[in-house]
Chains A and B, each alone.
Chain A
Amino acid sequence: MLVKKRALVMGAGLAITAVLLSGCSGAGAGAGAAGQDVTLTLATVNNPQMKDMESLKGTFEKENPGIKVNFVQMEEGDLRAAVTADVASGAGQYDVVTVGAYEVPQWGAQGWLTDLTPALTSDAAYDVGDILPPVKTALSVDGKQYAVPFYGESSILMYNKEMFAAAGLTMSNNPTWQEVAAAAKTLNTPDHAGICLRGKPGWGDLFAPLTTVVQTFGGAWYDNNWNAQVNSPAFTEGVNFYVDLLKSAGEKDPVSNSFTECLNQLSAGKVAMWYDASVAASILEDPTTSKVAGKMGYVHAPVYKTKESGWLWSWNLAVPATSKHADAAVKFAKWATSKEYQQLVGTTLGWTRVPPGARTSTYSIPEYKTAAAAFAPITLEVMNAVNPVQPGLNPQPWVGIQYVTIPEFQDVGNQVAQLVADAIAGRTTVEEALAKGQVIAQAAGDKQKK
């Protein structure tokens, strides 16, 4: 009896999961026929910038009578499931969705997103040329732009100027990884680590910085014909360098650490350097939470064989092809990514909350320049310098830096990251880990060859 009951319970549990997977969790629907009031349903990830947008939507509704915007906040995973199911079934529940840079080209190529190019280029006031060129490239497929960036970031090297001065070291604006490694070893003491690097397994955790290291060492996930390159000498050299640097001068317990954990250690003055997202600078410069505000220096991502090595990420607004109110939806997406919106955020919420890394003009707003003086110039400089079309030494068949824009990549990246984490812990060697990773990556590469 008990056994049967357990089977029932487990079966039910599994099936509920399965139902959730199929994406029946969507909520809200756009209502109203032509001529009547339109309610746009916006499905978004729940990050702070999007919450700011929700608090300011009243301004848009006032300027555009007849259009109401309804926000549905979700976790990233739920959002993906809800939107893919909605688009695939043609239900048209969502009119605007937030999509990461990793998925915009994939969904655009699938025909799931509305091509925004005509709407953007025909509107001179929107000034589409003002969008940072690398971001625009990452959001376009074959010259068609499928999303507008709301907020963008690259990766930079942050270092504690006090610790550098105390050790008599200097940092150039374009350091090499060898220089950084040497400095990290000098600065590594029992009290503070030389450098903090992500070690938490995950394609967006460990492999975001590690992929950029691999690329500047001449490696890549795939060659131009989708042959996996994970066990190639260049890939191996890059990973070995990263793992050795962590072992010799990195933070303790690296497998626990990603963005938030490193940020905590930097803020507490426990680490001398950190290579991570440029958005971290704005948090490190906040004197209420950071002990190192005003003591940090920011330079380009370290390089080896390439000229630039920063990554590129943006959160974007896109209009699903199934939206029943596409015109109003495009109007809202343009408003939320416009110059006026940035002014609105600055004047109502504060200039440090202006979404960075999307528009060139953001960096010429005088108030923003003052509020973000420590990191705004380097962010703009790096974001303009990166090349998402060919971040490594060789051409690649996808657009993107720290990720590969194929559906299988997050799975591949995750599994290989778990293997590399084992190498960081010393349970296996980098070579063994990457040999297994090659098999996983090749299986995904083969699917692209069809």
Chain B
Amino acid sequence: MTTASIAPVRQRTPVPPGEESGTATRLALKKKGRQARALVMPALIFSLVLTQVPFLVTIVFSMLQWNQLRPSEIKFNWFENYAVVFTGPDFLPSLMSTVVITGSSVVLSLLLGLFFAVLLDRKFMGRGLARTLMITPFLIMPAAAALLWKWSMLDVNVGMVNWALNALGLPSVAWNTDLPVVTIVILLTWQYTPFMMLILLAGLQSQSREVLEAASVDGAGPWRTFQWMTLPHLRQYIEISTLLGTIMMLQAFDPIAIMTKGTGGTKTLSYLLYERAFIGLDVGQAAAFGVVTVIITIAVASIALRTLFKVFINGGDR
């Protein structure tokens, strides 16, 4: 970032008129460069302090034995917390829960989002209203959404979902007790479908009408047009919405804290981290879990970026 912003400054610096000595010019340029760097420094230092230093502090924390209720016994235990992370019974099941919940929510909300985007990509009466209504779930705060689902939708006695099931002659379902993972996936899908829909709708609307017209003139039916023209066009939109959706859903915390409390395979990494920190009151262990989570996320994200999502490397090639 720094070099990129300094280079143009150098190019634009005019040689002062009447200046004949090359050394003097170089010195002047150097001075200008220093000035430029000095001007950039505060912002750079600020962002470094804001981002890197806290992370380094977290790494230091992760090497401490530190239970909040035993403040007199804080000391370095180096990699003991990491040993607990990798040998303890919590980490692998939690990683699995994260993969299952995030994975299925991303896939489901992507499919539903695509479906709704296609529906909304045509002109009809009240389209603006329909679009606004469709976006609403994404605008509701996650904690409020979780409470709404807990009390109004999934409650076993008065919830609308069970009312609908009973109306169809089906028995009520005790969602939290019997199907905790499904409960969380339903909620995340509901919340993030609009997000996927918005990105895909933007993709659909940027599609050239002439191409579609040409396809229909050539005798392609709606399905063939969708499969061979629209989907390839949407590919980069699908990729970016998958990536962003995954990042956001990895951090899902509110529905788990409010509804399932981490039972029945819903103890994702973000909830586990919260539990270690605020219920276990073990700052060191929580920091170690956090560091490991960051490393895994970076690893997964870079693999995903390199292999699946070539759009970021050679985006202009299609």
**By the criterion CB–CB under 8 Å, are A407 and B67 in contact?**
yes
- Size class of the B contact interface (CB-based, 8 Å): 35 or more
CA distance A426 to B177 in the complex (A): 9
Asked whether A252 is an interface residue with its Cβ less than 8 Å from the other chain, the reply is yes
Q: Which of B34-86 contact A (CB under 8 A)?
A: 50-55, 57-58, 61, 67-72
- Interchain CB contact (< 8 A) of A418 among B51, B69, B247, B262: B262
- How far, in Å, is B49 (CB) from chain A's closest CB? 10
**By the criterion CB–CB under 8 Å, are A11 and B55 in contact?**
yes
CA distance A88 to B150 in the complex (A): 39
**By the criterion CB–CB under 8 Å, are B259 and A252 in contact?**
no
CA distance A87 to B51 in the complex (A): 29
**By the criterion CB–CB under 8 Å, are A11 and B177 in contact?**
no
With CB as the reference atom, state the residue of chain A lying closest to B55: A11
**By the criterion CB–CB under 8 Å, are B180 and A255 in contact?**
yes
- Interchain CB contact (< 8 A) of A252 among B156, B267, B277: B156
Stretch in contact with the other chain, from A177-185, A196-204, A315-323 = A196-204
State the main secondary structure of chain A at its contact with B: helix
A418 in contact with B267 given A6-B247, A252-B156, A425-B178 (CB within 8 Å): yes
- Interchain CB contact (< 8 A) of A22 among B261, B283, B297, B302: B283
- How far, in Å, is B318 (CB) from chain A's closest CB? 19
**By the criterion CB–CB under 8 Å, are B68 and A12 in contact?**
no
- How far, in Å, is B276 (CB) from chain A's closest CB? 8
**By the criterion CB–CB under 8 Å, are A411 and B260 in contact?**
no
A12 in contact with B70 given A17-B290, A253-B156, A418-B267 (CB within 8 Å): no
**By the criterion CB–CB under 8 Å, are A15 and B156 in contact?**
no
Stretch in contact with the other chain, from B122-130, B168-176, B190-198 = B168-176
Q: Which of A1-26 contact B (CB under 8 A)?
A: 2-3, 6-12, 14-19, 21-23
Q: Most chain-A Cβ atoms within 10 A of its Cβ — which of B68, B261, B267?
A: B261
- Interchain CB contact (< 8 A) of A14 among B55, B68, B275: B55
Q: Mark B280-304, 1 if CB is under 8 A from A, else 0.
A: 1111001100110110011001100
CA distance A15 to B58 in the complex (A): 5
**By the criterion CB–CB under 8 Å, are B51 and A11 in contact?**
yes
Q: Mark A328-349, 1 if CB is under 8 A from B, else 0.
A: 0000000000000000000000
CB neighbours of B13 from chain A (8 A): none
CB neighbours of A7 from chain B (8 A): 55, 294, 298
- Interchain CB contact (< 8 A) of B55 among A12, A205, A255, A422: A12
A3 in contact with B281 given A256-B177, A424-B177 (CB within 8 Å): no
Asked whether A324 is an interface residue with its Cβ less than 8 Å from the other chain, the reply is no
Q: Which of A188-243 contact B (CB under 8 A)?
A: 199-202, 205
CB neighbours of A202 from chain B (8 A): 261
CB neighbours of A256 from chain B (8 A): 150, 155-156, 174-177, 259
CB neighbours of B302 from chain A (8 A): 3
- Interchain CB contact (< 8 A) of A16 among B54, B68, B178: B54
CB neighbours of B25 from chain A (8 A): none
**By the criterion CB–CB under 8 Å, are B286 and A21 in contact?**
yes
- How far, in Å, is B47 (CB) from chain A's closest CB? 8
**By the criterion CB–CB under 8 Å, are B280 and A411 in contact?**
yes
CB neighbours of B175 from chain A (8 A): 253, 256
CA distance A8 to B294 in the complex (A): 10
Asked whether A136 is an interface residue with its Cβ less than 8 Å from the other chain, the reply is no
Q: Which of A410-434 contact B (CB under 8 A)?
A: 410-411, 414, 418, 421-422, 424-427
CA distance A252 to B172 in the complex (A): 9
Asked whether B217 is an interface residue with its Cβ less than 8 Å from the other chain, the reply is no
Q: Most chain-B Cβ atoms within 10 A of its Cβ — which of A414, A421, A426?
A: A421
**By the criterion CB–CB under 8 Å, are A255 and B263 in contact?**
yes
A15 in contact with B281 given A3-B305, A265-B157 (CB within 8 Å): no
A410 in contact with B279 given A3-B301, A254-B177, A265-B157 (CB within 8 Å): yes
CB neighbours of A427 from chain B (8 A): 264
Asked whether A68 is an interface residue with its Cβ less than 8 Å from the other chain, the reply is no
Asked whether A141 is an interface residue with its Cβ less than 8 Å from the other chain, the reply is no
- Size class of the A contact interface (CB-based, 8 Å): 35 or more
CB neighbours of A88 from chain B (8 A): 71-72
CA distance A106 to B67 in the complex (A): 14
Q: Which of A424-450 contact B (CB under 8 A)?
A: 424-427, 436
Q: Which of B138-155 contact A (CB under 8 A)?
A: 150, 155
- Interchain CB contact (< 8 A) of B177 among A23, A110, A255, A408: A255
Asked whether B115 is an interface residue with its Cβ less than 8 Å from the other chain, the reply is no
**By the criterion CB–CB under 8 Å, are B58 and A106 in contact?**
no
**By the criterion CB–CB under 8 Å, are A201 and B68 in contact?**
no
CB neighbours of A80 from chain B (8 A): 68, 281
**By the criterion CB–CB under 8 Å, are A407 and B69 in contact?**
yes
CB neighbours of B278 from chain A (8 A): 21, 77
Q: Mark B87-100, 1 if CB is under 8 A from A, else 0.
A: 00100000000000
With CB as the reference atom, state the residue of chain B lying closest to A7: B298
CB neighbours of A325 from chain B (8 A): none
CB neighbours of B58 from chain A (8 A): 11, 14-15, 18
- How far, in Å, is A321 (CB) from chain B's closest CB? 13
**By the criterion CB–CB under 8 Å, are A407 and B57 in contact?**
no
Asked whether A84 is an interface residue with its Cβ less than 8 Å from the other chain, the reply is yes
CB neighbours of A18 from chain B (8 A): 54, 57-58, 61, 283, 286-287, 290
Asked whether A161 is an interface residue with its Cβ less than 8 Å from the other chain, the reply is no
**By the criterion CB–CB under 8 Å, are A12 and B263 in contact?**
no
**By the criterion CB–CB under 8 Å, are A106 and B176 in contact?**
no
Asked whether B228 is an interface residue with its Cβ less than 8 Å from the other chain, the reply is no
- How far, in Å, is B280 (CB) from chain A's closest CB? 4
CB neighbours of B281 from chain A (8 A): 80, 407, 410-411
**By the criterion CB–CB under 8 Å, are B279 and A253 in contact?**
no
CB neighbours of B286 from chain A (8 A): 17-18, 21
CB neighbours of B263 from chain A (8 A): 201, 255, 418, 421-422, 425
With CB as the reference atom, state the residue of chain A lying closest to B282: A411
With CB as the reference atom, state the residue of chain B lying closest to A256: B176
CA distance A253 to B183 in the complex (A): 12
- How far, in Å, is B148 (CB) from chain A's closest CB? 14
CA distance A19 to B57 in the complex (A): 9
CB neighbours of B291 from chain A (8 A): 14
Q: Most chain-A Cβ atoms within 10 A of its Cβ — which of B55, B69, B70, B180?
A: B69
- How far, in Å, is A2 (CB) from chain B's closest CB? 7
CA distance A199 to B177 in the complex (A): 9
- How far, in Å, is A166 (CB) from chain B's closest CB? 20
Query: Can you list 22 A-B pairs with a CB-CB distance of less than 8 A?
Result: A6-B297, A7-B294, A11-B54, A12-B50, A14-B287, A15-B53, A15-B58, A88-B72, A251-B156, A253-B155, A253-B156, A253-B175, A256-B174, A256-B176, A265-B157, A408-B280, A411-B275, A411-B281, A414-B279, A418-B267, A425-B264, A426-B178
